[in-house]
Amino acid sequence: MKKRVLITLYDMEIGGIERSLVNMLEHFDYDRYEVDLLVFRHTGELLPMLTDRVRLLPEERGLAAYRKSIVECVKDGQLLSAIVRMGCKYGSRLKALRHPVNRRDAGAGYIQMQLVSKYMARIQPRRRERYHAAISFSWPHDYTARNVRADVKIAWIHTDYSVLAVDRELDLNMWQSFDFLASVSPACTRSFLSRYPELEGRVVEIENIQSPSFVRAMADEGGVPPEMADDPEDGAGEKPFRIVSVGRLSYAKGFDLAARALRLLHDRGLAHIRWYIVGFGSMEAELKELAAELGLRDSFRLLGKKANPYPYMKAADLYVQPSRYEGKAVVVTEAQILGKPVLVADYPTAASQVTDGVDGYICPSGPEGLADAIERLVRDRGALDRVAEGARRRDYGNADELKKLYHMMA
């Protein structure tokens, strides 16, 4: 008899966590497990990419409220959800005053996520079905811990906890409700245990599942994107050098640092460099304004949300991840799968993903560090070719990582 498994997450919007779930479900052992997927709100371009071997549960009104704005909740008559969300919003601001941080996204914003996760779960009914295993693949972990009945509970850790201003005590009981905590990299494990050392015995490292054949097939769809194919030569008749980055337009991803690095590169006589950003998010207007202010309107290009970012990555001369912090960036590995030279900023978990000088480069973070590294690579194509060849020699298929998950669910 097959064992029943429930997997929960917020939505299927474009992101590394969601893409890694698509890959994991593609390789799951459906001869042994019957998998239900509970997506709180049925939104996102990755929703149609889910395998039909998983059972997507119907959207539930109460759970969808997690991903609605407070105004939407009021308009939809979900007044209790609106009140809870409002309380979490202002409560997080008070808590952030007691947890001062220098980064604008790590204080009240993250604590608000903690509060919403915790208190919204309390107004949801407990699920009647019982599962052999329940997997909280991403936020909200509190719902799976409190409202789901299962013999084994597993929560995924995708985040670098060393850079987040979390309220430790607020989440400790929640984490202790899980039998296992799946961490996507050794660096994520270290950062998590620096906050929660008492949970060391529950952590198991499981890499994000990759599907090289899928990435390469998607990259071959449609050829060079028109936004890049029509890029003119610069005033000196030099062919454009194309940098591509993929990610949400958020403070964590460091695209504002990328824009300032590009300005430095142009000032150094490298005006033929173009930087394409594939993604969407709350900083879009701010980044457009910054590009205009820096005189980069035609060189620093925000291409928006793309369900298939791989043709853009394939057309790049260099893939750059300028992030301030990451857990383990799925898109960096995908660029390596495509045989692209990769440059990543030295965020705390970078070395767990890129071997400097072998299959990519790690540079100091910030505009100066990025600009210096990019300039060296633009002027030394041999250095680009060496790490691209190093990436091509690696085997990125890792479906065997799922054996660790099956062992936890035994």
Q: How confident is the model at residue 100 (pLDDT cuts 50, 70, 90)?
A: low
Q: What is the pLDDT of residue 9?
A: 96
Count CA within 13 A, CB hemisphere, residue 205: 14
pLDDT above 80 for 251: yes
Q: What digits encode the pLDDT tens for the residues 278-308?
A: 999 999 999 999 999 999 999 999 999 998 9
Q: What digits encode the pLDDT tens for the residues 183-194?
A: 999 989 999 999
pLDDT above 50 for 107: no
Instruction: Please provide the average confidence, as pLDDT, over all residues in the chain.
Output: 92
Domains present along the chain, CATH in parentheses: 3-209 (3.40.50), 213-393 (3.40.50.2000)
Q: What digits encode the pLDDT tens for the residues 8-53?
A: 999 999 988 999 999 999 999 999 999 999 999 999 999 999 999 9
- Find out whether 311 and 225 touch, Cβ atoms under 8 Å: yes
pLDDT above 60 for 227: yes
Count CA within 13 A, CB hemisphere, residue 187: 19
Q: pTM higher than 0.75 for the full model?
A: yes
Per-residue pLDDT, averaged over 130-147, amounts to: 95
Per-residue pLDDT, averaged over 369-394, amounts to: 97
Q: What is the pLDDT of residue 234?
A: 58
- Find out whether 266 and 299 touch, Cβ atoms under 8 Å: yes
In this structure, what token pair is assigned to residue 381?
């194509």
